[in-house]
Amino acid sequence: MGARSFDYSLHVPYAHVDKMGFVYYAHYFVYFEMARSAMFRQVGLPYMQLEERGVLLPVVVSHCEYKKPARFDDQITVTIHNLELRGPLFHVDYRVRCNGDLIAQGYTDHVCMSHSGRVLKPAKELIRLVEEDP
Amino acid sequence: MGARSFDYSLHVPYAHVDKMGFVYYAHYFVYFEMARSAMFRQVGLPYMQLEERGVLLPVVVSHCEYKKPARFDDQITVTIHNLELRGPLFHVDYRVRCNGDLIAQGYTDHVCMSHSGRVLKPAKELIRLVEEDP
Amino acid sequence: MGARSFDYSLHVPYAHVDKMGFVYYAHYFVYFEMARSAMFRQVGLPYMQLEERGVLLPVVVSHCEYKKPARFDDQITVTIHNLELRGPLFHVDYRVRCNGDLIAQGYTDHVCMSHSGRVLKPAKELIRLVEEDP
Amino acid sequence: MGARSFDYSLHVPYAHVDKMGFVYYAHYFVYFEMARSAMFRQVGLPYMQLEERGVLLPVVVSHCEYKKPARFDDQITVTIHNLELRGPLFHVDYRVRCNGDLIAQGYTDHVCMSHSGRVLKPAKELIRLVEEDP
């Protein structure tokens, strides 16, 4: 994904904002997933197709650093700026921006897993996605 | 469920409270489900067993009326005070209390459905649950 | 809102899909809210402005009927097809479509409330929104 | 919190389980929060009291590693096994167990913040909580 990156934008729902008026921290991981799923759709590799081929991508590590809050109705943009294969792990890096500011950044690590729970080698579609710089 | 009822209590997580300081309205339906699942566990009919026997219970109608707000860390109690079979529908009535006040009430209607999506006659375990007044 | 209606679309996140493979029932109420908030933004009346003017719009009744399931990555569209003032209540009707099918319909009733919890007469902006057919 | 630790248990709601049949990864952060809030209640320092005294505890870093899945209706236990002050950061370590297995572990870092967004020195209640080994 070297020179390119993938952007996904949404408006913060009221449902996600806590009594401080800020997006509750766990929702960023849902935004990360929405960006991942949108990226897979955009590159012509819907995640459903991977699952139907028997490849699940459960998260094994998740991490987020929060710099500034996002508020209700703010338009935020999640950028996937790096994809890597690190041995069996599919690694995804995210940045979240709001009104021009970096407000959060984080990553998720995934394994390729069969429906029966066996860890698989990275699916060829993922290798292509990472290597060919979609 | 005539003379008896089933209670389920929890403390409101910070995650569920909106910027007004109140539990966001959709979460009540999750509390209804947590009470349903706890009731099924308590009567010795874990919902997982129903699913493994091929009986799913998707919701076909949901309804809630909100009387007073619940706030972060409040202990709330969901009472399932009525179960009925209405033809193919499994009907469940809920009341939610907080500090002695009725704060919400609602219901859900479910059908028995096979894994392939066919509507089934009410499972015998549900008939017993409704009729024998667990 | 007589002749016009308002549409809001999203792709179903993995986060919202249950082990049956269907969108969990409570999330429809979040989709209703996202459609409401998008409508308020579009008509130039962001809900934040109402709140800053001291008018909150808590939900007092919510209702949804589920016709067909939605699945992961499906694009669903929430249509707000009716707005009414019923005495102190602001009533909103929703339909949800997926791949051309009606999959759910429901409504929410709201009151105008001050930050101190007092019920207010409907805000003039809401009256205009309902009457002038945005 | 040297010799002691704090446990919080819950049954996994249907709402939190994805189409793989596993708890969706973001919910672990809600479980972490529910454990934190329960710990604050138990040590006689409800988080609401901190907020009313003007001390907010927003999360600045969150991290979780997932070892094994949890499934619907599983009883899981979140253990807070370490609390530290690292300069301005309040650091909390979590382990999640299910049926005797370690299924996840992670941490959150918080700052003490005023309602206006200013970073504060750690509140004396937090210092006591960390040092006096509640």
**Hey, which chains touch D, using 3+ CB pairs under 8 Å?**
A, B, C
Q: Which of D19, D22, D29, D30 to mutate to test the interface with C (most CBs of C within 10 A)?
A: D19
Test the A interface: residue of B24, B27, B30, B72 with most A CBs within 10 Å: B24
Q: How far is B49 from chain D (nearest CA, A)?
A: 11
Q: Is the pLDDT of residue D123 over 50?
A: yes
Instruction: Find chain D residues with C-beta within 8 A of A20's C-beta.
Output: 56, 58
Q: What is the mean pLDDT of chain D?
A: 93
Asked if the structure places residue B65 within a domain, the reply is yes
Partner A contacted by B29 (CB < 8 A): no
Query: With an 8 Å Cβ cutoff, are B48 and D15 in contact?
Result: no
- Nearest CB to D17: which of C18, C26, C72? C18
CA distances to A94, B52, D97 from A65, rounded to whole Å, are 10, 41, 25
CATH code (residue B32): 3.10.129.10
Average pLDDT of the residues of chain A = 93
Backbone φ and ψ of D107, nearest 5°: -150, 160
pTM: predicted TM-score of the whole model, two decimal places: 0.96
Read off the pLDDT of each residue in B45-52 and give the average, rounded to a whole number. 90
In D14-26, which positions are buried (b, 16+ CB within 10 angstroms) versus exposed (e)?
bbbbbbbebbbbb
Q: Give the rounded distance of the alpha carbon of A31 from its chain centre.
A: 7
Within a domain: A42: yes
pLDDT value of position C83: 96
Question: Between D27, D59, D69, which is nearest A25 by CB?
Answer: D59
- The Cα of A88 is separated from the nearest Cα of chain C by a number of Å equal to 22
Q: What are phi and psi of C34, to 5 degrees?
A: -65, -35
The string of pLDDT tens digits covering residues D11-61 is 999 999 999 999 999 999 999 999 999 999 999 989 989 999 999 999 999
Residue C20, number of CB atoms within 10 A of its CB: 19
- Chain centre distance of CA D63: 11
Q: C84 CA to chain D: closest CA distance, Å?
A: 32
Distance CA B57, CA B43 (A): 17
Q: Contact, A28 vs A12, CB < 8 A?
A: no
Distance of CA A38 to the CA centre of its chain: 9
Instruction: Supply the mean pLDDT for chain C.
Output: 93
- Chain B touched by C33 (CB under 8 Å): yes
- Residues B28-38 pLDDT 10s: 999 999 999 99
Tokens 């602001």: give the residue: C90
Does residue A1 sit within a domain? no
* Structure token pair of residue D44: 């006689």
Cα atoms found within 13 Å of the Cα of residue B49, Cβ hemisphere only: 11
CA distance C71 to C73: 6
Q: Give the span between the Cα atoms of D110 and D55, in whole angstroms.
A: 11
Q: Residue C134: its pLDDT value, please?
A: 47
pLDDT digits (tens, 9 = 90+) for C11-38: 999 999 999 999 999 999 999 999 999 9
Whether residue A34 lies inside any domain: the answer is: yes
Asked whether the beta carbons of C88 and C119 are under 8 A apart, the reply is: yes
- What does the pLDDT read at residue D132? 73
User: Which 87-116 residues of chain B touch chain A by CB within 8 A?
Assistant: none
Please say whether the beta carbons of A43 and A128 come within 8 A. no
Task: Kindly state the tokens that stand for A21.
Answer: 């008026």
Q: How far is C-alpha D99 from the geometric centre of its chain's CA atoms?
A: 20
CB A15 within 8 A of CB B18: yes
The full length of chain A comes to 134
Distance CA A6, CA A39 (A): 7
Is B9's Cβ below 8 Å from some Cβ in C? Answer: no
Instruction: Indicate whether B1 belongs to any domain.
Output: no
| B48 chain-D contacts, CB cut-off 8 A | 72-73
Mean predicted confidence (pLDDT) in D75-102? 96
DSSP string, B8-36: EEEEPPGGGB-TTSSB-TTHHHHHHHHHH
- Phi/psi of residue D93, nearest 5 degrees: -105, 135
Q: Give C126 to chain A, closest Cα distance, Å.
A: 18
Domain membership of residue D1 (yes or no) is no
- Average pLDDT, integer, range A58-85: 97
* Tokens matching residue C129: 């929104």
Q: Is residue B46 part of a domain?
A: yes
Range of the domain at A101: 6-131
SS3 readout for A27-84: HHHHHHHHHHHHHHHHCCCCHHHHHHCCCECCEEEEEEEECCCCCCCCEEEEEEEEEE
Pick the residue of B25, B105, B113 with the most C CBs within 10 A to test the interface with C by mutation. B25
Which residues of chain B have a CB within 8 Å of the CB of C25? 29, 58-59, 62, 108
Q: How many CB atoms lie within 10 A of CB D51?
A: 16
How far apart are alpha carbons C66 and D104 in whole angstroms? 35
How many CB atoms lie under 10 A from the CB of residue A86?
9
Neighbours of A29 (CB within 10 A): 25
Whose tokens are 């890096």? That residue is A93
pLDDT band at B134 (very low <50, low <70, confident <90, very high): very low
Q: β-strands B89-98, C89-98: how paired?
A: unpaired
Q: pLDDT at position B4, please?
A: 74
* b (16+ CB within 10 A) / e for D83-101: bebeeebbbbbbbbbbeee
Residue C102 falls within a domain, yes or no?
Answer: yes
Other Cβ atoms less than 10 A from the Cβ of D133: the count is 11
Query: Minimal Cα–Cα distance from C51 to chain B, Å?
Result: 10
Say if CB D113 and CB D120 are below 8 A apart.
yes
Quick: pLDDT tens for C73-106: 999 999 999 999 999 999 999 999 999 999 999 9
Chain D hits for B35, Cβ within 8 Å: none
Which residues are CB-neighbours of B4 under 8 A, at least 6 positions away?
B133, B134
| Cα–Cα distances in angstroms (integers) from residue A36 to residues A10, A80, B72, B132, in the given order | 14, 8, 32, 49
Q: What is the pLDDT of residues B54-70, one digit of tens each?
A: 999 999 999 999 999 99
The answer to whether ipTM exceeds 0.90 is yes
Q: What is the pLDDT of residue A90?
A: 96
Residues of B in contact with C56 (CB under 8 A): 20
> Which segments of chain D does DSSP mark as H helices, in order?
27-42, 47-52, 124-131
Q: Which of D34, D56, D108 would you mutate first to test chain B, the one with the most B CBs within 10 A? A: D34
Residue A134's pLDDT is: 47
The answer to whether A133 faces chain D, any CB pair under 8 Å, is: no
Query: Considering only B97-101, C39-43, C129-133, D75-79, which range has the smallest mean pLDDT?
Result: C129-133
Residue B133 pLDDT: 59
Q: Which residue of B has its CA nearest to D30?
A: B15
Query: How many structural domains does chain B have?
Result: 1
Chain D, window 57-86: residues with a beta carbon less than 8 angstroms from a chain C beta carbon: 72
